[in-house]
Amino acid sequence: MRYCSKCGSDQIDFKVPDNDTIKRYICSACDSIFYTNPNVIVGTICVKDDQVLLCKRNIEPRFGLWTLPAGFMENSETLQEGALRETKEETQASPTITSPYAAFSLTHISQVHLFYLADLRDENFGPTSESSEVELFYEKDIPWDQIAFPTVTKTLEYYFKDKKEGVYPFREEGLKLW
């Protein structure tokens, strides 16, 4: 941040405001304080007949690697609406959400990733502008060495482990990767 988005001044400091404990961008001309906070990424692990739906990224970052459909939660939507919107945008699929399944706090990038377990009840999925390939995978065929993000790997591992037990508890954890 180089200029104040409210008054246009270039007198921007990065310091702890009064009655606060964290450094913020502050405009010394108009006294505005600018807060930045973690973003939420929402997605689904769509299941159909013992298979899960993965998509091959057609965009950066991690172009060409496989992922679960997920993306930034937007203003004015619920967590579930965001997860279903991202799933549709990346895979064309319209699954039915079963339950919240895995949440991760990623402190190094200030993100929260939340994946829902979802039932896919039809074959209406396929490539999109964001995904060059969209396919159902049995556990034995998951391309483990070509997964785009660590939280996707963890969610898939949890899923196939839970599948053997037949119970799918909600998991929530911090991931300190850097």
Q: Identify residues 134-163 at the interface with its own copies (CB under 8 A).
A: none
Among 29, 65, 79, 136, binds its own copies (CB under 8 A): 79
Q: How many angstroms separate the Cα of 97 from the Cα of each of 14, 17, 27, 72, 123?
A: 42, 42, 44, 18, 16
Q: What is the 3-state secondary structure (H, E, C) of 144-163?
A: HHHECCHHHHHHHHHHHHHH
Q: For the chain, how far is it from start to end, CA to CA, in angstroms? A: 24
Q: Identify residues 99-138 at the interface with its own copies (CB under 8 A).
A: 100, 103, 105, 107-108, 110, 112, 129
Candidates 34-42, 48-56, 142-150, 155-163: pick the segment binding its own copies (CB under 8 A). Answer: 34-42
Q: Does an H or E element contain 88, and which?
A: helix 79-91
- 64 binds its own copies per the rule CB under 8 A: no
Written as six digits, the tokens of 88 are 């549709």
Among 18, 22, 140, 167, binds its own copies (CB under 8 A): 22
- 29 binds its own copies per the rule CB under 8 A: no
Q: What share of the chain is helix, strand, coil (3-state, %, to 5)?
A: 20, 35, 45
Nearer to its own copies (CB atom), residue 40 or residue 65:
40
- 63 binds its own copies per the rule CB under 8 A: no
Binding site for its own copies (CB under 8 A): 1-8, 10, 19, 22, 34-40, 72-81, 100, 103, 105, 107-108, 110, 112, 129, 170, 172, 174
